[in-house]
């Protein structure tokens, strides 16, 4: 039996929140009624022009959208192949794409009459974005963060505190991002009546993967129009890094039904895919269930979740959004990976050639671009989402390079 | 009659006792619970990410995994328990990922071979039943679902459809081992469930003392106690059995004589 290719890649998920065999709603019964409520409220919001108008207005005047599309001449010349264009989502307010989603979710929270916001964060980028929108709308914000991450990411912890958020260090488990997410789910289940959980990536129980994708798709919609207007055609290749995968799905989704556009997602290969120290769920994981959805997970033969590793805290998660799992299986999106070392080199390459300090997360995507661009013709174009800026990472990079600052 | 239906058809309410597999000397601990008077054993399958559990059971999961507990060890414990206690219902409780890792048929076969009577899968919503439910039902193993204070009238039939053995009523919206619910709320919710179903209803989450257990036993068919037992395993290690036996006896006495 040959698998039928779908007519459109943009009609997922189905009404039960499934992307093929992935996605779904795998949550404790206490949360199910709430998750069903959220879906109903999201459908109403989608049909409400006032919701869209408020979302668009905040993105324009508060976040600073549309973000620029930038042609990178010296990087293009250095790599000697395809023309490289960056979608500059690192120029957003708060320095990354995360804010797009937080604006959408807090508007939903307020529609639902929720009075208290919770979030999980790893490196602190999603925590900062959530604390930002909570300050903007005057809602209390509780951010769960692994105790180890609290120690390593002290500038972001201070930022969140300045913005009025309460930071709860999580010592349960090994005190990483997935433990922070477990703890946020425990808070949610105990406070369902008044609390909204702003999930930071395109994962979790339906409808989160769908609504996060929809809020982040502004990236791809803008970039598609900008490429057409600036180059007169669609890009030959679009590239984005993947942890949970929200910036990548935001870039890719508007291009899914443009077969001439190759799409490439870049996972974090950490210290290499041959060992255990990586965070490449698609390359090194198997389908399973965690945090409300079925997707590819790093896990052992008994289904115990293993810890991811990446130099980039934002990619250091043992799962991936379910739509990426489906896009991998259908073959519409190609997935590759970049190691810590390759990301560090790419980080420095962009600093040197374009005067842009990228975050370590998109540095993985730059590493992939550096490999593929030289193999392409000079009249071809690559569009890459530069999803975050690197100010937060300079200490990590200095340490990795053996520099004392 | 299954072991579960036999137990719940008794005129007295049942003590459902939970501990985590691989935390301490599990075989000895299970025997102590049965000797103390537990009517149903709920054996926790350890998982790295027990997101519905409070600190006590989270720590038990970490200890069990730290001891090297594998899925094979859980089934070995179950098989040996069944040989020692042919009539005591045994239910596995855990999270979806370890249960479906090798496929639903593998898991359901292993349960059947080990003499497991029912499965409580915390994060498998009725909406995702096909991942495990059909395989369990085909082998006569009860998918035991949970209802909560947030499960409203409209949703209750969905939860009940396809569930068997008993219904686990989670008395509080929250995680295991924290606060207990008010008895008036429990009574009203159990009565509500009974209007929709003939299944026995066992009530859990936050039940620690014989007094609480007796109060609940007056309005429900069973009382689930977990964190209080798990705390004893944590505190007493290899000396846990005598303490488990004592607490089980106090709870069983309170529950069995509640009405």
Residues of chain A contacting B45 with CB distance shorter than 8 Å: none
Average pLDDT, chain A: 95
Which pLDDT tens digit goes with each residue over A308-332?
Answer: 899 998 888 999 999 999 999 999 9
Q: Kindly tell me if the per-residue pLDDT of A348 is higher than 70.
A: yes
Q: Model's pTM, two decimal places?
A: 0.96
Which pLDDT tens digit goes with each residue over A13-34?
Answer: 999 999 999 999 999 999 999 9
Residues of chain A contacting B170 with CB distance shorter than 8 Å: 29-30
CA nearest to A23 within chain B: B128
Q: Are B76 and B68 in contact (CB under 8 A)?
A: no
A185 interfaces chain B, CB cutoff of 8 Å:
yes
For the domain B15-252, what is the CATH superfamily, name and number?
A: Aldolase class I (3.20.20.70)
Q: Kindly tell me if the per-residue pLDDT of A258 is higher than 60.
A: yes
CA nearest to A16 within chain B: B127
Angstroms from A184 CA to nearest CA on chain B: 9
CA nearest to B120 within chain A: A28
What are the counts of helices (DSSP H) followed by strands (DSSP E) for chain B? 12, 9
- For tokens 């979740």, what's the residue? A305
Q: Where are the alpha helices (DSSP H) in B139-202?
A: 156-160, 183-196
Residues of chain A contacting B177 with CB distance shorter than 8 Å: none
Which pLDDT tens digit goes with each residue over A361-390?
Answer: 999 999 999 999 999 999 999 999 999 999
What pLDDT is recorded for position A3?
54
Query: Is there a catalytic annotation at residue B53?
Result: yes
Query: Is there a catalytic annotation at residue B215?
Result: no
What are the counts of helices (DSSP H) followed by strands (DSSP E) for chain A? 16, 14
Average pLDDT over residues A294-317: 93
What's chain B's length in residues?
259
Average pLDDT over residues A231-236: 98
Phi–psi pair at A337, nearest 5 degrees: -145, 160
What pLDDT is recorded for position B182?
86
Residue B54 vs residue A143, higher pLDDT = A143
Interface test with B, best of A170, A203, A206, A289 (most B CBs within 10 A): A289
Q: How far apart are CA B57 and CA B74, in angstroms?
A: 16
A32/B49 CB distance under 8 A:
no
Domain extents for chain B?
15-252
Burial A198-226 (b: 16+ CB within 10 A, else e): bbbbbbbbbbbbbbbbbbbbbbbebbbeb
Q: Kindly tell me if the per-residue pLDDT of A1 is higher than 70.
A: no
Q: Are B15 and B252 in contact (CB under 8 A)?
A: yes
Average pLDDT over residues A34-55: 97
Angstroms from B37 CA to nearest CA on chain A: 30
Of chain A, the percentage scoring pLDDT greater than 70 comes to 99
Which pLDDT tens digit goes with each residue over A76-119?
Answer: 999 999 999 999 999 999 999 999 999 999 999 999 999 999 99
Q: How confident is the model at residue A4 (pLDDT cuts 50, 70, 90)?
A: low
Which pLDDT tens digit goes with each residue over A150-167?
Answer: 887 888 999 999 999 999
Of chain A, the percentage scoring pLDDT greater than 90 comes to 90
Pairing, β A83-87 against β A69-71: antiparallel
A146 interfaces chain B, CB cutoff of 8 Å:
no
Average pLDDT over residues A385-398: 94
3-state SS, one letter per residue, for A268-332:
EEECCCCCCCCCCHHHHCEEEEECEEEEEECECCCCCECCCCCCCHHHCCCCCCHHHHHHHHHCC
Encode chain B (259 residues) as per-residue pLDDT tens digits.
899 999 999 999 999 999 999 999 999 999 999 999 999 999 999 999 999 999 899 999 999 999 999 999 999 999 999 999 999 999 999 999 999 999 999 999 999 999 999 999 999 999 999 999 999 999 999 999 999 999 999 999 999 999 999 999 999 888 887 777 889 999 999 999 999 999 999 999 989 999 999 999 999 999 999 999 999 999 999 999 999 999 999 999 999 999 9
Q: How far is CA B72 from CA B46, B68, B78, B139, in A?
A: 12, 11, 10, 19
Residues of chain B contacting A192 with CB distance shorter than 8 Å: 150, 173
């Amino acid at each position: 039996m040959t698998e039928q290719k779908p007519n459109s890649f943009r009609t997922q998920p189905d009404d039960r929140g499934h992307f093929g065999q992935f996605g779904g709603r795998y949550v404790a019964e206490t949360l199910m009624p709430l998750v069903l409520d959220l879906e109903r409220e999201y459908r109403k919001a989608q049909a409400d022009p006032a919701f869209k108008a408020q979302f668009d207005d905040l993105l324009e005047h508060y976040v600073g959208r549309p973000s620029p599309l930038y042609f990178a001449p010296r990087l293009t010349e250095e790599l000697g192949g395809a023309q490289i264009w960056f979608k500059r989502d690192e120029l957003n307010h708060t320095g990354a794409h995360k804010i797009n989603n937080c604006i959408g979710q807090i508007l939903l929270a307020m529609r639902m009459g929720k009075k208290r916001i919770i979030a999980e964060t790893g490196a602190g980028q999603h925590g900062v974005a959530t604390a930002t929108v909570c300050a903007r709308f005057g809602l209390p914000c509780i951010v769960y963060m692994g105790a180890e991450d609290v120690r390593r990411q002290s500038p972001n912890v201070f930022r969140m505190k300045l913005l009025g958020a309460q930071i709860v260090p999580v010592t349960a488990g090994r005190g990483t991002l997935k433990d922070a997410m477990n703890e946020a789910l425990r808070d949610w289940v105990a406070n369902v009546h008044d609390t909204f959980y702003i999930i930071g990536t395109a994962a979790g129980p339906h409808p989160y993967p769908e609504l996060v994708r929809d809020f982040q798709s502004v990236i791809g919609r803008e970039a598609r129009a900008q490429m057409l207007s600036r180059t007169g055609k669609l890009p030959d290749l679009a590239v984005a890094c993947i942890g949970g995968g929200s910036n990548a799905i935001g870039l890719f989704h508007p291009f899914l039904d443009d077969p001439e556009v190759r799409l490439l997602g870049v996972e974090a290969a950490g210290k290499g895919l041959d060992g255990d120290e990586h965070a490449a769920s698609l390359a090194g994981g198997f389908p399973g269930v965690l945090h409300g959805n079925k997707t590819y997970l790093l896990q052992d033969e008994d289904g115990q979740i293993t810890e991811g590793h990446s130099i980039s805290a934002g990619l250091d998660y043992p799962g991936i959004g379910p739509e990426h799992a489906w896009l991998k299986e259908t073959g519409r999106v190609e997935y590759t990976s970049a190691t810590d070392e390759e990301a560090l080199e790419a980080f420095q390459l962009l600093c040197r050639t374009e005067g842009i300090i990228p975050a370590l997360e998109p540095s993985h995507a730059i590493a992939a671009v550096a490999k593929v661009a030289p193999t392409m013709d000079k009249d071809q174009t690559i569009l890459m989402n530069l999803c975050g800026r690197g100010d937060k990472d300079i200490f990590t990079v200095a340490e990795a390079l053996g520099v004392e600052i | 009659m299954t072991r579960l239906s036999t137990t719940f058809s008794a005129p007295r309410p049942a003590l459902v006792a939970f501990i985590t597999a691989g935390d301490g000397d599990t075989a000895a601990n299970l025997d102590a619970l049965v000797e103390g008077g537990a009517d149903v054993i709920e054996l926790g399958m350890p998982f790295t990410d027990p997101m519905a559990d409070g600190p006590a059971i989270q720590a038990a999961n970490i200890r069990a995994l730290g001891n090297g507990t594998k899925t094979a060890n859980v089934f070995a414990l179950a098989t040996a328990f069944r040989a020692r206690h042919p009539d005591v219902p045994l239910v596995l409780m855990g999270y979806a990922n370890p249960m479906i890792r090798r496929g639903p048929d593998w898991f359901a076969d292993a349960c059947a071979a080990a003499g497991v009577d029912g499965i409580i899968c915390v994060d498998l919503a009725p909406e995702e039943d096909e991942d495990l439910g059909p395989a369990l039902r085909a082998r006569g193993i009860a998918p035991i679902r949970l209802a909560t204070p947030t499960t409203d009238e409209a949703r209750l039939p969905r939860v009940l459809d396809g569930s068997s053995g008993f219904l686990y009523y989670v008395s509080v919206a929250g995680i295991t081992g924290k606060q207990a619910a008010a008895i008036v709320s429990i009574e009203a919710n159990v009565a509500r469930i009974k209007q929709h179903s003939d299944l026995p209803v066992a009530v859990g989450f936050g039940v620690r003392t014989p007094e609480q257990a007796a109060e609940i036993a007056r309005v429900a068919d069973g009382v689930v106690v977990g964190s209080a037992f798990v705390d004893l395993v944590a505190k007493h290690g290899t000396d846990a059995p005598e303490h488990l036996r004592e607490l089980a006896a106090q709870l069983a006495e309170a529950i069995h004589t509640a009405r």
